[in-house]
Structure 1
Amino acid sequence: SVSNTGTENLAIFSSITHLGSNPALLSFFLRPNVVPRNTYKNIKENKLFTVNHVSKEIIEDAHHTSAKYDEEISEFDKTNFQPEYKKNWGAPFVKDSAVQLGCKYVNEYYLEENGCSMIVASIELIFIRKGLLQNDGWVELSKGDIVTVNGLDAYALPKTIKRLKYARPK
């Protein structure tokens, strides 16, 4: 995301969820808003942000984006990541990320049970590294060494075991 003053922000999230394809939506969860949340503030102010997949080669820098910096400090300056602007999108992508999504804030839902919020966004732009997109439109993430987050501090490589056809009643 980017602030109104132009400071670029990066933050790793483990809770991104596909919500639907038509329209293309995703969600992610934010912890209770009891301390400054720069990503949340930027998204609320500017409505635009990016989601950039993390590969195994960059997990240390990606993990470091969870450190709490003052809002005038960019995580791009504290990591080896480089911002990349595409298609006049108002928020930076992470250069060299295998899958990059340009997202627009749609709504949010407050969870009374724990004070967290679920942010809903539309996917407006998609950039996929060559070799990952299959002829049928499926993205083979394992070819890009895309990692998952397990808890707060563990990273794993998912492995495609098998693809199956859309299930229909027998």
Structure 2
Amino acid sequence: MTYFNIDEIHNLNHLYKINLINSCAGFKSANLIATKSTENNTNVAIFSSVIHLGSAPPLLGFILRPTSVPRNTYENIMETGYYTINHVHEKIIKDAHHTSAKYDCSISEFDVTNLETIYKNNFFVPFVKDCPIQIAMKFVEEYDIKSNNTKLVIGEIQELYIQDELLKDDGFIDLSEGKIATINGLNGYAIPTLKERFEYQKPIK
């Protein structure tokens, strides 16, 4: 196996290092977070850090990179308190990835890609049209991570839309049936396939 110690990691070429460290944690979720400013300017950006934090209340979090430079997603959430999380699927991978480009807040990524907005149930922020899972979120709190100046942003699910065939009788959502993407590192995308589900495990007596 190839081996790196911490000193070697610190001294790696910058691009090699970020590829290495972003890949070593494993496959990550691929989500488009959509926001809208108080001036009604929409924004959508790809995130690979959305995580489940709890079911009662239903909380999701995501990691935001340092806000020492403009972060339209964060600024809009702080202004309005609302955002949507939309799962990236196979047909929109290229456009979804392009939302990582740094556009001015006056330019909506919806206008420079083939991604489309759709509004539902009078929610202030748009969803991304045709995404198999669309989640309306309300900002709850944030935590500063001092070690690298990132933020953990936490929100509560307000509304949840799921493509019918993905939702099973026990509440399980089969992401593979929706051709939902996952991210390998910074710019690698895969479409996982569900292999097997297991029963709740108890200690062997």
Q: Deviations over 1:24-60 (max 9, x none)?
A: 0000001111110000000011010000000111100
Q: Of 78, 82, 88, which residue of structure 1 is paired with 2:116? A: 82
Q: Of 52, 55, 58, which residue of structure 1 is paired with 2:92? A: 58
Identity %: 49
Deviates more, 1:88-97 or 1:148-157: 148-157
* Corresponding residue for residue 28 of structure 2: none
- Where 1:10 maps in the other structure, the secondary structure is strand
CA distance in 2, matches of 1:84, 1:106: 24
CA RMSD of aligned residues (A): 0.7
Q: What amino acid sits opposite 1:94 in the alignment?
A: V
Q: What amino acid sits opposite 1:104 in the alignment?
A: K
Structure 2 spans left out of the alignment, 5+ residues: 1-34
Task: Report 1:112-127 matches (<5 A).
Answer: 112-127=146-161
Instruction: Tell me the CA shift for residue 158 of structure 1.
Output: 1.6
* Corresponding residue for residue 203 of structure 2: 169
Task: Report 1:3-152 matches (<5 A).
Answer: 3-152=37-186
| TM-score, normalised relative to structure 2 | 0.81
Q: What is the number of residues matched between the two proteins?
A: 170
CA distance in 2, matches of 1:5, 1:133: 36
- Where 1:131 maps in the other structure, the secondary structure is helix
Max radius of gyration: which structure? Answer: 2
Structure 1 spans left out of the alignment, 5+ residues: none
CA distance in 2, matches of 1:81, 1:11: 11
Q: What amino acid sits opposite 2:82 in the alignment?
A: L
Q: Deviations over 1:98-143 (max 9, x none)?
A: 0000011101110110000000110111001121101111100000
Instruction: Tell me the CA shift for residue 156 of structure 1.
Output: 1.1
CA distance in 1, matches of 2:42, 2:203: 49
CA distance in 2, matches of 1:151, 1:41: 26
**Which protein has the bigger helix share?**
2
| TM-score, normalised relative to structure 1 | 0.98
Q: What amino acid sits opposite 2:173 in the alignment?
A: V
CA distance in 1, matches of 2:202, 2:120: 40
* Corresponding residue for residue 158 of structure 1: 192
Instruction: Tell me the CA shift for residue 81 of structure 1.
Output: 1.1
